[in-house]
Homo-oligomer: A and B are copies of this chain.
Amino acid sequence: MVKISSLLILGAAIAQQALASVWPIPKVFTTGCTNIDLPSSCLKITVDGCSNDILDRAIDRYKELILNEHFKPPLDYNVAPLQASGSVQGVTITVATKNINLDLQTDESYTLTVSQNGTIAINAQSTFGAIRGLETLSQLFISNQGRKFIKNVPINIQDSPVFKYRGLMLDTSRNFYSIASIKRTIDAMSYSKMNVLHWHIVDSHSWPVEAKFDPRLSALGAYGPDMVYTHKDVTDIINYARDRGIRVIPEFDIPGHTYAVGLSDPNIMSCLDVQPNWNEYAAEPPSGQLNIIKPGARNFAKNLVAEYSSLFTDKIFHVGGDEVNLNCWEKDPDIKAHLAQNSTDTVESILSRFYANIYANLKVNNKTGMCWEESLLEGIANPPKDTIVQAWLDEASVVSIVKKGYRVVASPYKYMYLDCGRGPWLSNLYNGTSWCDPFKFWGHIYSYNPYVNITIPEEKALVLGGEVVLWSEQSDEVVVDQLLWPRAAAAAELYWKGPVDEKADMNKQIENVSPRINEFRFRLLGRGISAEPTQPLWCVRNPGRCNLPL
């Protein structure tokens, strides 16, 4: 007997049934009703045709993961011993193309079949599709009485993501993150089939990356010599991520958020660490923006883009552009002097030229720009039409961006900012909340629809996907697992399978997902990711019994 399932009939039924374990849920699948086991400590995975280093390493990794993992679903706490009608014979992977580029054209689709006789096949257009299939395969295995099983065989899965861009932003400037914690985050992203690490690598608070064009930047701007990512470290992280089908998009936020630059070259800065009234000059202390009138600042931007365009191999280069403070420049003596002598200029026009220069640098270095929404919507930066714009201030910004014909990545803070809701972090407050209260819990994240108020297909096509964002005022590697997981996984599924149905009962949809995200949380725990609990274990084990009557 074979049951046909698809997203169209997502419901409570799925939660406790076939493929409940797989996160994000595959697009289309059919399942049967027998079980096969994995009889030995050996799993044979072979490639039919040509392989490559990335796929070979992925195979080794997933072999080890599947053989070492002993995942018991939380709903199986008192389950009877399973019987197997067959055993896994081996896995054959077929990849149609040799393309190993990671970009917006990467085809992550795959099919996965588990037959009753124990043969398993993964077919994909690309290496990265095959890696997604291996991840799904790993999540099919569950432990029962010390043995490993795949349940509900035969299984046929056809899977592919709805959105091409499924990202997570990590801010390594406000607090430092060890390479180990970044790699652990990349691991968890790969378990969730996310594909972009947006690395907000520098900001005002510290400059934790080696800069060959000015070694003072990290020597003076990093929190310490042990808190610097060398070029070698960056390349190591990029390769580690690429092995898992994850792009690393760097963000070098200019011209605002650059206090740390001033530690090595105060001459190219405006409003450097104004105190105590920093709030007139910046969104956060310490204040400081590149002095946009100074040739040195333009030169800094040029060198920066050149060096890091080479170091970061991704086609996309994020140049920030959020929260620039015009007052900072209006009060700057050099800019005031310039304006006094150039009556047709304004701070805005100077800034506009500065931005044009940044984008020209990107073009020279063959990069596609990415920027925060202000650069487009405030009308100063005029980013080139191929720039990807990241919405954060409002859900409505997503609409505004596509209406202007730009591609958009959605990370509206009301849904996607994982740092929110943990109180103020300034030193002298005994009362108050974080600016973006409340805490974004997984169900709220999951309920976000990046297509809201966008109906025209051409405009929908401009919505590349979205990101969860973790700013690090109140986080660092000590708490990163708990703050990201499983909440980031809610976004991962949203962007893989597509948003919830806005017309259907949203609470009901969340209820149906709840047992699955709980199960995924326990899988993450088993894989060494300290994901936070969402409920009492009693509720995890009793789906439907911890509902608010609505």
Chain A residues with CB under 8 Å of chain B are: 77, 174-176, 204-206, 223-224, 273, 275-279, 285-286, 421-431, 433-434, 437-444, 446-447, 472-476, 478-479, 482, 506-511, 514-515, 525, 530-539, 542-550
Given A440-B423, A473-B535, A533-B479: A446 and B430 interface contact (C-beta under 8 Å): yes
Q: Is B428 a contact of A536 with CB atoms below 8 Å?
A: no
Beyond A421-B422, A425-B536, list 12 extra A-B contacts (CB 8 Å).
A174-B538, A175-B537, A276-B549, A285-B547, A423-B444, A425-B534, A427-B543, A430-B444, A474-B532, A474-B533, A475-B532, A478-B530
Given A286-B545, A438-B433: A478 and B533 interface contact (C-beta under 8 Å): yes
Give, as a whole number of angstroms, the nearest-CB distance from A386 to chain B: 34
Give, as a whole number of angstroms, the nearest-CB distance from A347 to chain B: 23
Could you give 9 example pairs across A and B, Cβ below 8 Å?
A174-B536, A175-B533, A175-B537, A205-B536, A427-B510, A427-B544, A428-B550, A472-B536, A479-B532
Give, as a whole number of angstroms, the nearest-CB distance from A549 to chain B: 5
Give chain B residues whose Cβ lies under 8 Å from the Cβ of A535: 425-427, 473-474
Q: Which of B275, B475, B525, B543 contacts A478 (CB 8 A)?
A: B525
Please tell me how many copies of the chain the complex holds: 2
Q: Is B437 a contact of A475 with CB atoms below 8 Å?
A: no
Give chain B residues whose Cβ lies under 8 Å from the Cβ of A547: 276, 285, 426-428
Give chain B residues whose Cβ lies under 8 Å from the Cβ of A537: 174-176, 205-206, 223, 476
Cα distance A360–B461 in the bound complex, in angstroms: 72
Cα distance A440–B430 in the bound complex, in angstroms: 10
Most B CB atoms within 10 A — which of A430, A511, A545? Answer: A430
Cα distance A137–B538 in the bound complex, in angstroms: 44
Give chain B residues whose Cβ lies under 8 Å from the Cβ of A508: 428
Give chain B residues whose Cβ lies under 8 Å from the Cβ of A532: 474-475, 478-479
Give, as a whole number of angstroms, the nearest-CB distance from A209 to chain B: 16
Q: Is A507 a contact of B546 with CB atoms below 8 Å?
A: no
Q: Is A507 a contact of B441 with CB atoms below 8 Å?
A: no
The 9 A-B residue pairs with the shortest CB-CB distance, nearest first, are A423-B441, A428-B511, A430-B447, A174-B536, A427-B514, A205-B538, A428-B547, A430-B510, A205-B536
